[in-house]
Structure 1
Amino acid sequence: MEAIKVENLTKIYKLYDKPIDRLKESLSFIKKSYHRDFYALNNVSFAVKKGETVGIIGKNGSGKSTLLKIITGVLSPTLGSVKSSGKISALLELGAGFNPEYTGIENIYLNGTMMGYKRDEIDEKLDSILEFADIGEFIYHPVKTYSSGMFVRLAFAVAINVDPDILIVDEALSVGDIFFQSKCYKKFDEFKNKGKTILFVTHDVGSIIKYCDRAIVLNDGILVEEGLPSEMVDVYKKILVNLYSKEDVEEKVLSDSVDTKVDWKKSLNINPNYLDYGNKNAEIIDFGVFDDKNNLTNTITKGKEFKLVFKVKFNESIKDPIFAFTIKDFKGTEITGTNTMLEHIDTGYVKRGKLVKVVFRQIVTLQGGDYLISLGCTGFESNNLVVYHRLYDVFNIHIVSEKNSVGFFDLNSKIDIKYLN
């Protein structure tokens, strides 16, 4: 049985270069057009079965939020239709469905009334809502005084405690702290066990893999693919670096030849404030990260092997160059790193004009999140360290994790428990 059915859904916005053009168009006797059409959604069709948990992923501007707003009735489609079976509870962007002048308590009753509940029915659910939100005395204050975290706690508490058949969540959980997010995802599991339908948008692809039965990938308003979460995450990662096509787009980065035409760094999210220095006797001219399936990406999966690859052009002949990389968190803490000297790799004598490809392979055990990568090529001349080229904090990687532990990295502990009596 289908809980949601979306057929040929299209949402078109009229874009005007100048505000006056809208007036000119409305007053034109010959119906002259002064606008251009922007397709936020373009002929999107899919179905969600009752009891399914489906994730929607895509770049910013791909149409995810527009899709959810149409499904929940906040927006009307230009073309196409949406059919749903059952009561929908939605947590969209912060502020949707709440009156900022009302207190938290008043907004609970406002939302319940909008969903068709009588006051005595909301009274029965009130304790559960307050317990889940856990915002203390702030529940009696106007919500305009709330932090974004407090707001989403209350909004999610209301959304899940009105006993919906379909729960729709749009990225809002990313605002809450890790403990609240954990509580929310535990509620997801409870909903799944009760046979409820969940549709949610998130940039956290780890949650897509862990919680979803299926995933849908949107790009530029078009449904690109739908299928198993792990496979759709791979599609999404290719889209992020502009390598997606129906054909095979995987680059064989580990071949012996050095392809000087490929420019991997153009597909990465380069830090505009990275530090670049050195005498350039050896110069890092390109770099990229490749996941366990050889996809060029900045998103890698915890527990899987990935490859950090960079190319170095030698403008002078150098003996025993040292190739290095480090990983920092966004606070600037150096988490880990290595180089060819520490790994006891003999790099030999590299003549002027040579182009060298360096490949670091490792299994990532870092916790899920974002990290900064630094690259370097150095060496010793007359026992003095010489920096040929360093790129500090040049780009970021995003690590996807289904399970995080305490601290920076996972010990991958194996636990045995024996009950002795």
Structure 2
Amino acid sequence: MGSITVSNLGKAYKQYPTLWSRWREWMDPRDRPRHQLHWVLEDLNFTVNVGEAVGIIGINGAGKSTLLKMIVGTTLPTTGSVQMSGRVAALLELGMGFHPDFTGRQNAIMAGQLLGMSVEEVNAHMAEIEAFAEIGEYIDQPVRVYSSGMQVRLAFSVATAVRPDVLIVDEALSVGDTYFQHKSFDRIREFRKQGTTLLLVSHDKQAIQSICDRAILLSAGKLLMEGKPEAVMDYYNAMLADHQGQQVRQDVLDNGKVQTISGTGEAVVTAIALLNEAGSQIETVDVGQQVTLRIKVQTKAFISRLVLGYGIKDRLGQVIYGTNTDLKKQVLTDVPPDSKVTFNIAFPANLGPGNYSIQTALASSDTHLVNNYEWRDLAMVFNVINTDKPDFAGVAWIDPEIQIEML
């Protein structure tokens, strides 16, 4: 079984003010240093336990790729160490090691050897590799005629031909087509069920929250936050708008979940409730029931353009539906300070049984990245039950009419 332990890990690169300084230091290493250290990663400590799935997130430049390169050993750390156990498969830059003039089959054999397999072992799995990659006769064509998606297909198929103890995945799968992405993540999920330890770097919020047990947020080369994927992703979402001078806070709710609230505070949600057709507040909703989401907002300053957005999230924190008044062409303009606005949002709760939450956003457009007055996750929690509908699977009630013809 595999595990990963990162201890006091750091990576720094030398920066020289001039080329002369670099030459001077190289010629006389006994002289005083002529460089300064630029730390890309500093003092990272975390463990990925046996059978656990951990996601790593962060904005571009946070140090995610450098961290993975040090974990797999292609880049040496400046400080600290990485300890891994078990057979490791790393999917960092799929297809980068392929020789363009060799066929896909020849490259698969070489790639498999780099992963620690023998030629005999690769050949034994070649039929499975070809079947999963689905590139047909191209398997015996030079890789230079492949598209980037075909290279990804072949490289992923080789890397996962034998279930590893530790699987490390970068953003590499984002290159492939949607069909193959689904197919690849199905294989990753299957590996997880069989006990593979997973380290995943992705900007895909749904992938992190649906696959991972825990998430790590990197910022400016340091570990900023570690915890449940939903809480970490909510905080990361708030960070994306932090150039606006906003405040970000996280509160632990009675149910143990972490609520993230961010924004400038120029407009805030003062109350939120789910109402039935009689106007009574409810916390439990029947599948398909007509409900009204009532959100009360107060402005603290003059707002030239006020947009309310909301999203319905499932128990994993994935948004299953969301919209806003900008998309619905119902924007409020020139709203004075101390105004009180009530939004009544009526819709049928065509949701599957389960627990759901509401997130709200007050901004000036259809995104909170420009003017984030307030973003509130877990603003409200409610349950959906099924009392009178046929049993069905999933998070959406999409009742079909089925016609059957026999010939």
Q: Same fold (TM over 0.5)?
A: yes
How far apart are the structure 2 equivalents of 1:20 and 1:95?
38
CA contact (8 A) 1:305 1:361 kept: no
Which of 320, 330, 338 aligns to 1:339? It is 330
How far has the Cα of 1:260 moved from its partner? 3.8
How far has the Cα of 1:355 moved from its partner? 9.0
Residue of structure 2 in register with 1:254 after alignment? 269
Residue of structure 2 in register with 1:73 after alignment? 73
How far apart are the structure 2 equivalents of 1:288 and 1:338?
10
**2:248 pairs with 1:233:** no
Residue of structure 2 in register with 1:98 after alignment? 98
How far has the Cα of 1:235 moved from its partner? 1.8
CA contact (8 A) 1:305 1:362 kept: no
Unpaired runs of 5+ residues, structure 1, are 262-283, 294-299, 309-323, 327-336, 366-374, 377-390, 398-409
How far apart are the structure 2 equivalents of 1:153 and 1:61?
27
How far apart are the structure 2 equivalents of 1:258 and 1:179?
45
Which one-letter code corresponds to 2:35 in the other structure? Answer: H
Residue of structure 1 in register with 2:9 after alignment? 9
CA contact (8 A) 1:159 1:167 kept: no
Q: Deviations over 1:61-112 (max 9, x none)?
A: 1111111111111111111011111011111024443333332111111122
How far has the Cα of 1:151 moved from its partner? 1.3
How far apart are the structure 1 equivalents of 2:344 and 2:55?
31
For the residue of structure 2 that corresponds to 1:167, the secondary structure is: strand
Residue of structure 2 in register with 1:46 after alignment? 46
For the residue of structure 1 that corresponds to 2:326, the secondary structure is: strand
How far has the Cα of 1:183 moved from its partner? 0.4
How far has the Cα of 1:2 moved from its partner? 6.3
For the residue of structure 2 that corresponds to 1:54, the secondary structure is: strand
Residue of structure 1 in register with 2:277 after alignment? none
CA contact (8 A) 1:52 1:197 kept: yes
Closer, same or farther in 2 for the Cα pair 1:7/1:393, shift >3 Å? closer
How far has the Cα of 1:143 moved from its partner? 2.4
**2:326 pairs with 1:325:** yes
For the residue of structure 1 that corresponds to 2:82, the secondary structure is: strand
Query: What fraction of aligned residue pairs are identical, expressed as a percent?
Result: 38
Which segment is superposed worse, 33-42 or 186-195? Answer: 33-42
Closer, same or farther in 2 for the Cα pair 1:42/1:137, shift >3 Å? same
Q: Deviations over 1:3-25 (max 9, x none)?
A: 11110100111234554442243
Which segment is superposed worse, 59-68 or 22-31? Answer: 22-31
Residue of structure 2 in register with 1:119 after alignment? 119
Unpaired runs of 5+ residues, structure 2, are 252-260, 271-296, 350-362, 373-393, 402-407
* 1:4-403 matches, cutoff 5 A: 4-27=4-27, 31-242=31-242, 250-251=262-263, 252=265, 253-254=268-269, 258-260=299-301, 285=304, 301-303=318-320, 325-326=326-327, 337-339=328-330
How far has the Cα of 1:257 moved from its partner? 5.5
For the residue of structure 1 that corresponds to 2:200, the secondary structure is: strand
Query: Given the two structures, how large is their TM-score scaled by the length of structure 2?
Result: 0.67
Which one-letter code corresponds to 1:133 in the other structure? Answer: A
CA contact (8 A) 2:2 2:196 kept: no
Which one-letter code corresponds to 1:140 in the other structure? Answer: D
Which of 368, 387, 396 aligns to 1:412? It is 396
Q: Deviations over 1:330-364 (max 9, x none)?
A: xxxxxxx2327xxxx9x9xx89x889787868699
CA contact (8 A) 1:167 1:198 kept: yes
CA contact (8 A) 2:21 2:34 kept: yes
Q: Deviations over 1:138-197 (max 9, x none)?
A: 222332332221111111111111331111110011111111111011101210111111
Closer, same or farther in 2 for the Cα pair 1:355/1:247, shift >3 Å? closer
How far apart are the structure 2 equivalents of 1:166 and 1:189?
13
CA contact (8 A) 2:209 2:318 kept: no
Q: Deviations over 1:212-251 (max 9, x none)?
A: 1111111111111211111111121122222576777634
CA contact (8 A) 1:4 1:83 kept: yes
CA contact (8 A) 2:132 2:157 kept: yes
Closer, same or farther in 2 for the Cα pair 1:98/1:305, shift >3 Å? closer
Closer, same or farther in 2 for the Cα pair 1:102/1:232, shift >3 Å? same
For the residue of structure 1 that corresponds to 2:125, the secondary structure is: helix
CA contact (8 A) 1:92 1:169 kept: yes
How far has the Cα of 1:47 moved from its partner? 0.6
For the residue of structure 2 that corresponds to 1:12, the secondary structure is: strand
CA contact (8 A) 2:309 2:322 kept: no
For the residue of structure 1 that corresponds to 2:329, the secondary structure is: strand
Closer, same or farther in 2 for the Cα pair 1:158/1:20, shift >3 Å? farther
CA contact (8 A) 2:95 2:152 kept: no
How far has the Cα of 1:127 moved from its partner? 0.8
For the residue of structure 1 that corresponds to 2:9, the secondary structure is: strand
How far apart are the structure 2 equivalents of 1:87 and 1:170?
18
Which one-letter code corresponds to 2:330 in the other structure? Answer: N
How far has the Cα of 1:301 moved from its partner? 5.0
For this pair of structures, how many residues does the alignment match?
A: 321
**Cα RMSD (Å) of the superposition?**
4.0
How far has the Cα of 1:259 moved from its partner? 3.5
Which one-letter code corresponds to 2:299 in the other structure? Answer: V
CA contact (8 A) 2:13 2:40 kept: yes
